[in-house]
């Protein structure tokens, strides 16, 4: 099962997260207007946020259009909670 949160709007990020087989790790596919400047930072932030929820194996697809770090954290948290069944689907 995959969950998607966020929008493809300026200052936002659309994130789709799907659990992966154990041992796969977290794979982040990122499309961003700021890839060259912040791509690695965005990937690391997403991985760290997922790990806070105990998610160690996932496939993540992101479309970023200049989202600030707090927006990225909120979107990843929403996706993780939905994936783990902790939140309602209020995207």
Domain boundaries, the chain: 2-83
Percentage of the chain lying above the pLDDT 70 cut: 95
Q: What does the pLDDT average to over 57-85? A: 97
Cβ neighbourhood burial of 53 (10 Å; 0-12, 13-18, 19+): middle
Record the tokens describing residue 11, joined without a space: 């200052």
* Block residue for tokens 């939140």: 87
Provide the 3-class DSSP secondary structure of residue 61.
Answer: strand
**Range of weakest confidence among 1-10, 48-57, 79-88:** 79-88
**What CATH code is assigned to 2-83?**
3.30.230
- The residues facing 16 across adjacent strands are 4, 61
Provide the 3-class DSSP secondary structure of residue 48.
Answer: helix
Phi, psi of 7 (to 5 degrees): -135, 160
- Is the whole-model pTM more than 0.85? yes
């Amino acid at each position: 099962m995959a969950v998607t949160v966020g929008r493809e709007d300026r200052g936002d990020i659309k994130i789709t997260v799907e659990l992966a087989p154990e041992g796969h790790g977290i794979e982040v596919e990122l499309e961003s207007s700021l890839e060259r400047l912040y791509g690695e930072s965005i990937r690391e932030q997403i991985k760290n946020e997922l790990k806070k929820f105990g998610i160690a194996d996932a496939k993540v697809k992101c479309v970023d259009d200049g989202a600030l770090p707090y927006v990225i954290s909120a979107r990843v948290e929403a996706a993780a909670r939905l994936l783990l069944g902790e939140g309602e689907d209020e995207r």
